Amino acid sequence: MTTEQKAKWFDSALRFGLQDKIHLIMKSRINGVSNWAIIDTTNNKVLNSNLEWEDEPSIDKRDEAFLTRTRFPFEMAIELFKQFKMFAE
C-alpha cells in the first residue's frame, strides 16, 4: 500500500460529518496527540486558522506553514468550525 493509499484509508476511517460535505478528519496522531482538519470534500478545500478555505495540496507539497494553518487539536477544530458557521450565516 502506497503512502497516498494509506492516507486515503485513514481519512475515510476517521471522519465526522459536520455539515453537508464538510467533514472533520483526523489527519495524524503522533505521540498520542491527534491533529484534525476541516475539509470541504466537494471542493477539496481545507479551512485554515483564519477561517478561510484553501486548496488541499497533495501530501508531498504540504509544508510546515500549511500544516500549522490547517491542523488542529480536536477541541480547537470544533471551535473554529463553530466560528466559521457564525460568520458564514
Strand residue runs (E) in 6-75: 15-19, 22-30, 33-40, 45-47, 53-55
pLDDT computed for residue 9 by the predictor = 62
Mean pLDDT by 10 residues, the chain (89 residues): 68 66 86 89 94 93 94 93 84
What's the number of domains the chain is made of? 1
Domain with 63, as residue range(s), is 3-88
Q: What is the pTM of this model?
A: 0.77
pLDDT computed for residue 15 by the predictor = 63
Half-sphere exposure (Cβ direction) of 73: Cα atoms closer than 13 Å: 4
pLDDT computed for residue 64 by the predictor = 93
